[in-house]
Amino acid sequence: MNSSKNTVRGLLCALGLLLTGAGIAAQESPPPTNPGSSKDSPNTEEARAKSPEEMASVRILATGGTIAGAQGNPQGYGYKSGAFKVEDLIKAVPNLDKVAKLTGEQVANIGSQDMNDAVWLKLAKRTNELLASPDVDAVVVTHGTDTLEETAYFLDLVVKSEKPVVLVGSMRPATAISADGPGNLYNAVSVAASPEAKGRGVLIVINDEIHTARNVTKTNTTNVETFRSPNRGPAGVVNTGEVHWFERMDKKHTVDSEFSVTGKNTLPRVDILYAHANMSPDLIDSAVKNGAKGLVIAGVGDGNMTQPALDTLARHVKKGVVVVRSTRLPSGLVLRNNEINDDQKGFVASGELNPAKSRVLLQLALLETKDPTRVQRMFEEY
């Protein structure tokens, strides 16, 4: 790893490239147009600029990830997640201070592959505390992309405010050629400062798209166009800070959610098991033996698995383990009592929720109940 001086120099170089690129684009392209605005009021960054009194107060909570990452060699692979602090991220984005009044704090500085219950609880409690204050209008969370969808959905279920909460990450580290972090952060702050972002639940902003926490998933290992909402599509689009909204979510979240982290210092253990041809029940037994109170199966097709796995799960259900059938497929719903008799076996069908999201909801559900009928109701409502 380079010294921190070198990584900061690398960041400034990358920014220099970005700024030069932006300058060239401005000279060569026609003036930006906006289908929703009249010719007399162009929707340019300049036209949208607000006075300090009009600007929203946005607090950035940094957790690490590639967006704060640095690589030793700009052309090469490999980098260290969470190398930069929140102040560096804010400074790295030209004109961000014209979008909102910004303050930042570091909640963690980890690659999101290491995200855990303790950081989730800290982040959720801090977000609730900040949003309860009249001095904060919105929160932006910078985060690694690997588990971004899980953190976003966790916050969606436990944040008790209608004020916007936007998660943002990047696929390329700050020092990479064509780093995507600065543009993503600019758009994320713009969405958070947008009055129409209120009451939409927790959002993620990346690659010029806005997605709901519930629907979004990471679909590509390295491409910047990796976040998709396979069953429903994005919640909106955002380009150089100009926001266009699509439909609102019809599922419960934030202020309508029954889940709370107040007074909670731990969450129940829930494991995910991946179904495949010839799946044996051994890992199911092992998960329960090691303390799992809930199991999510990334099933084949419509949440299916081998007969020995089904029989073993049904046996654990009788002892109070909650079993959710999700799917390893990237889209589609897992239907109740379709291929498998869930009523008879006491299983829960995940509906639209993928295994990672099902795990988050089941962790919170288990704080309330072990009754599969109640848990099924939660999977239909959230």
Nearer to ligand ASP, 176 or 366 (CB): 176
149 binds ligand ASP (CB under 6 A): no
Nearer to ligand ASP, 3 or 222 (CB): 222
In the bound state, the residue with its beta carbon closest to ligand ASP is 144
Instruction: Work out whether strand 322-327 and strand 294-299 pair parallel, antiparallel, or are unpaired.
Output: parallel
From 66, 127, 312, 327, active-site residue: 66
Indicate the residue among 64 and 281 with the shorter CB distance to ligand ASP: 64
Q: Does 112 bind ligand ASP (CB under 6 A)?
A: yes
CA-wise closest residue to 213 among 363, 63, 112, 356 = 356
Which of residues 171 and 272 has its CB atom nearest to ligand ASP in the complex? 171
> Looking at 44-52, 106-114, 232-240, 243-251, which segment touches ligand ASP (CB under 6 A)?
106-114
Cross-strand pairs, 203: 166, 212
Instruction: Report the alpha-carbon distance of residue 254 to residue 256 in Å, rounded.
Output: 6
Q: For residue 19, what is the DSSP state?
A: H
Among 127, 128, 145, 229, binds ligand ASP (CB under 6 A): 145
Least distance to ligand ASP, CB of residue 109, Å = 10
For residues 297 and 305, is the Cβ–Cβ distance under 8 A?
yes
Nearer to ligand ASP, 140 or 317 (CB): 140
Among positions 12-51, residues that touch ligand ASP (CB under 6 A) are none
User: For residues 113-132, which are near ligand ASP according to CB under 6 A?
Assistant: 113
Q: Which stretch binds ligand ASP (CB under 6 A): 108-116, 247-255, 341-349, 364-372?
A: 108-116
Q: Give yes or no for residue 146 binding ligand ASP (CB under 6 A).
A: yes
66 is catalytic: yes
62-101 positions binding ligand ASP, by CB under 6 A: 65-66, 81
> Under rule CB under 6 A, which residues in 167-186 are in contact with ligand ASP?
169, 171
Q: Which residues contact 342 (CB under 8 A, 6 or more apart)?
A: 325, 336, 348, 349, 376
Amino acid at the residue 264: K
Count interface residues toward ligand ASP (CB under 6 A).
11
Q: Which of 10, 62, 101, 111 binds ligand ASP (CB under 6 A)?
A: 111
Site mask, ligand ASP, residues 298-337, x = CB under 6 A?
Answer: ----------------------------------------
What the block records as the tokens of 33 is 């147009």
Cα separation, 145 vs 196, in Å, equals 25
Q: In the window 207-226, what residues touch ligand ASP (CB under 6 A)? A: none
Closest by CA to 85, choosing from 100, 101, 70, is 70
Pick the stretch among 8-16, 141-149, 153-161, 287-295 that binds ligand ASP (CB under 6 A): 141-149
Structure tokens at 262: 């107040």
Alpha-carbon distance of 345 to 233, in angstroms, equals 33
Q: In the complex with ligand ASP, which residue's Cβ is closer, 88 or 342?
A: 88
What are the residue numbers of the active site? 66
* Footprint of ligand ASP (CB under 6 A): 65-66, 81, 111-113, 144-146, 169, 171
